Amino acid sequence: MEKTVDELDPLIIAAETGRRILEAGGETYRAEDVIVRLCRAWGFTDAEAFATPTGLMASIVDHDNRSRAVVRRITRRVVDLHRISRLDTLVRTAEQQQISVQDVQKKLIEIDGEHPYSTAITIFAAALSSLFFTLLFQGSIRDAIGAFFVGLGIKTFAYILQGWHFPDFITTIIGGAIAALLSILTLQIGLTEHLDKTIIGSIMLLVPGLATVNAIRDTIAGDLVAGIARLTDAVITAAALAIGAGAVFSLLR
């Protein structure tokens, strides 16, 4: 299908690239930098961008000396470092090889369609992470094996809830409850030895580590609004975990 002028607008394509950076869990300064670099690569030297974790604004002064702006809302955020790397590479290529707007748009569509890991592999990797986290926190081999199965349950339910478009806060509460419930179950059937080690190892899948790091990096970079927003998100996520796990322990006391 032939693209319209608006769909091939350099400012819109640059903003869409920045939006994808934020949706993949990238820092706000990275999204701003990507937008400005793309606009300048296409000859718009007067380009500005402002991003927060929930939205971005970009503007340019075009060749007719008219000021134009575009706004994009960020409604979903995941952790996808592979996508961030691919987008960074695309922007560098656009700068170095003078790639056209049409080619960048095609690359964006290609990146959107990439799924480097299947759902089964992702769930298995999450379970394996729980196993090694438990060992890291000095749990026994039996605790680690139990955490492996708890991690399987957490990640599987997370995928199901995401497919039903549950809010992240509710998903995290349920994830914390599942972690506590399955950890107690593994202890009751004699699979694990230490309840605390199993819970800690498995619940690490839901701990907002990247959000906390990005909050610190954004704050250091001078993006105080973005830093505070990300830190608030991390605190709310941690509270949701505590609510979910605490509710299970209160009910089973």
pLDDT digits (tens, 9 = 90+) for 207-232: 988 889 889 988 888 888 889 998 99
Tens of pLDDT, residue by residue over 6-62, are 457 999 999 999 999 999 999 899 999 999 999 999 999 899 999 999 999 999 998
Rounded CA gap, 125 and 120, in Å? 9
Beta bridge partners of 48: 59
**Final residue of a structural domain among 82, 112, 142:** 112
- Asked whether the CA dihedral 168, 126, 52, 71 is positive or negative, the reply is negative
Mean pLDDT of 235-252: 94
Give me the pLDDT at residue 1, please: 38
**Final residue of a structural domain among 54, 79, 112:** 112
Mean pLDDT of 124-129: 96
Q: Which has more pLDDT, 5 or 206?
A: 206
32 in Cβ contact with 51 (< 8 Å): yes
The confidence band for 193, taking pLDDT boundaries of 50, 70 and 90, is very high
**Final residue of a structural domain among 96, 112, 128:** 112
90 and 144 within one domain? no
- Residue-level length of the chain: 253
Rounded CA gap, 54 and 51, in Å? 8
- Asked whether the CA dihedral 210, 216, 220, 226 is positive or negative, the reply is positive
Residue 92 lies in a domain: yes
Q: Which domain holds residue 128?
A: 119-251
68 in Cβ contact with 59 (< 8 Å): yes
155 and 104 within one domain? no
Residue owning tokens 């409850």: 177
Mean pLDDT of the chain: 91
pTM of the model: 0.84
192 and 74 within one domain? no
Rounded CA gap, 101 and 78, in Å? 26
Give me the pLDDT at residue 7, please: 54
Give me the pLDDT at residue 5, please: 37
144 and 105 within one domain? no
Tens of pLDDT, residue by residue over 83-103, are 999 999 999 999 988 888 999
Mean pLDDT of 124-140: 96
Residue owning tokens 């605790």: 143
| Total domains present in the chain | 2
Residue owning tokens 């049409």: 102
161 and 49 within one domain? no
Q: Extract the tokens encoding 20.
A: 């994808």
Distance of CA 226 to the CA centre of its chain: 15
Residue owning tokens 């604004």: 57
How many Cα atoms within 13 Å fall on the side-chain side of residue 123? 14
Mean pLDDT of 97-112: 91
* Ramachandran angles phi, psi of 90, nearest 5°: -60, -45
54 in Cβ contact with 229 (< 8 Å): yes
**For residue 4, pLDDT beyond 80:** no
150 in Cβ contact with 186 (< 8 Å): yes
Tens of pLDDT, residue by residue over 137-176, are 999 999 999 999 999 999 999 999 988 988 889 999 999 9
- Asked whether the CA dihedral 212, 166, 159, 145 is positive or negative, the reply is positive
H helix runs in 98-118, sequence order: 101-112
